[in-house]
Amino acid sequence: YVLILPWNLRNEITSDHGYIRDWGGRFVVAVPEIEIEP
């Protein structure tokens, strides 16, 4: 899992680091509620 702290940049971070999904990684955003992206 990768925790994204700057929640307002989640779209940019997930698209720039999409390769993390290739090895089974997932993104977690904790603001305003905990959310795990597939």
pLDDT in tens, 18-33: 999 999 999 999 988 8
Average pLDDT, the chain: 93
In angstroms, the CA 22 to CA 17 distance is 10
Q: Give the per-residue pLDDT at 32.
A: 84
| CA-closest candidate to residue 10, choices 23, 24, 34, 22 | 34
Q: Which residue has the higher pLDDT, 31 or 3?
A: 3
> In 10 A of CB 27, how many CB atoms?
19
Ramachandran category for residue 24: left, alpha or beta (phi over 0 → left; psi -120 to 50 → alpha): left
Q: Give the per-residue pLDDT at 24.
A: 95
Q: Which domain holds residue 10?
A: 2-37
pLDDT at 2 over 90: yes
Q: Give the per-residue pLDDT at 6.
A: 93
Please name the amino acid found at residue 23. Answer: W
Tally of domains in the chain = 1
